[in-house]
Amino acid sequence: MNPLNPKKLLLTKWTSVTPVAKQKHFLVSRVIQPDAPTDPIERVEIESVFSKAVQVIAWRELQDDSVWRQGWV
């Protein structure tokens, strides 16, 4: 997978390799900014397209090909 830039993740689409409760497709709905502007971005908020459920995850988890695929597959 291409290297990801956390600042460019907003509104990107992701597919879970192992869907849970029909939640397969997700959208990065928010990039959570750190308290200090000099600190790196560590977390993003992803929203399920099916149920609109929201989860907060570390953005680096999206780089794991065994869990996430970029785009809606």
Amino acid at 21: A
Beta strand pairing call for 54-58 and 23-32: unpaired
3-state secondary structure of 22: coil
Are 16 and 24 within 8 A, CB to CB?
Answer: yes
Q: State if pTM tops 0.75.
A: yes
pLDDT in tens, 29-57: 999 999 998 999 999 999 999 999 999 99
